Amino acid sequence: MLQQHIVWLTSLALMAFVASGFVFVVLNSGMREDDYAPLVKHAYRLRTRLFWGLVMVFGPAMIYTLADLPYDVSRAENEAGPVQIVEAVGYQWRWELSHDHVAKDRPVEFRVTSADVNHGFGIYNADMRLIAQTQAMPGYTNIIRHTFRDEGTYKILCLEYCGLAHHNMVAEIQVGDL
Ligand code: CUA
């Protein structure tokens, strides 16, 4: 929630910045051409400063976000125990899972596809928080790997509107000791 709030405030600030740029242009649009020379020089200086400002903001941000690589997909392979495989097929309007029980603390590989149209394969925990998701596409198998850390009932919901009974595309998967 806090993150969303920060992102929202940042977007607001940026939007205000862009809007003030427009206002600045409108207010100064009455000038003659030779009035522009100092303005152009000023703009170039501003551009250079803005460029380095962006480098200084996005450079560290990029390093910070990329430091997490490789993501869970490849990390899961190094965990104890063999990978558990669940084949998941989306239909209008239901999910077909090859297994609906998996063990916790061992990586699960979901091989997700669709028999008809595009669906979204979203795994939710008991608090209905989305913990992993991929697309279910006809003629293509998407793979996601996830290691469940908590026992309980997880839900699989369709994340892409796929017709009248889209909301009925709910399946459950039990995580526990096998
Ligand atoms: Cu399948 Cu929405």
Secondary structure in 3-state letters for 40-55: HHHHHHHHHHHHHHHH
Q: Which of 139, 30, 136, 41 is nearest to 89 (CA)?
A: 136
pTM of the model: 0.58
| Res. 102: pLDDT tops 60 | yes
Tokens of 37: 């020379």
What mean pLDDT comes out for the span 80-107? 92
- 162: Cβ below 6 Å to ligand 1? yes
- 167: Cβ below 6 Å to ligand 1? no
Between CA 32 and CA 175 the distance in angstroms is 72
* More confident position, 54 or 25: 54
Per-residue pLDDT reduced to its tens digit, 133-145: 999 999 999 999 9
CA–centroid distance, residue 80 to ligand 1 (Å): 34
CA–centroid distance, residue 24 to ligand 1 (Å): 47
pLDDT confidence of residue 139? 96
What mean pLDDT comes out for the span 102-128? 95
CA–centroid distance, residue 138 to ligand 1 (Å): 12
What phi, psi does 133 have (nearest 5°)?
-160, 155
Instruction: Tell which atom from ligand 1 comes closest to the C-alpha of 161.
Output: 2
Band of pLDDT at residue 27, cut at 50, 70 and 90: confident
- 117: Cβ below 6 Å to ligand 1? no
Instruction: Tell which atom from ligand 1 comes closest to the C-alpha of 117.
Output: 1
Contacts of 132 by beta carbon, 8 Å cutoff, 6+ apart = 110, 122, 123, 144, 146
pLDDT confidence of residue 174? 95
- 135: Cβ below 6 Å to ligand 1? no
pLDDT confidence of residue 73? 54
Per-residue pLDDT reduced to its tens digit, 76-89: 455 566 789 999 99
**Mean pLDDT lowest for which of 12-21, 33-42, 56-65, 85-94?**
33-42
What mean pLDDT comes out for the span 154-172? 96
pLDDT confidence of residue 169? 96
Instruction: Tell which atom from ligand 1 comes closest to the C-alpha of 93.
Output: 1
Question: With pLDDT > 70 as the criterion, what percentage of the chain qualifies?
Answer: 92
- Residue nearest (by alpha carbon) to ligand 1 atom 1: 119
pLDDT, mean over the chain: 89
Between CA 123 and CA 125 the distance in angstroms is 7
Angle at 99 between CA 95 and CA 104, to 5 degrees: 115
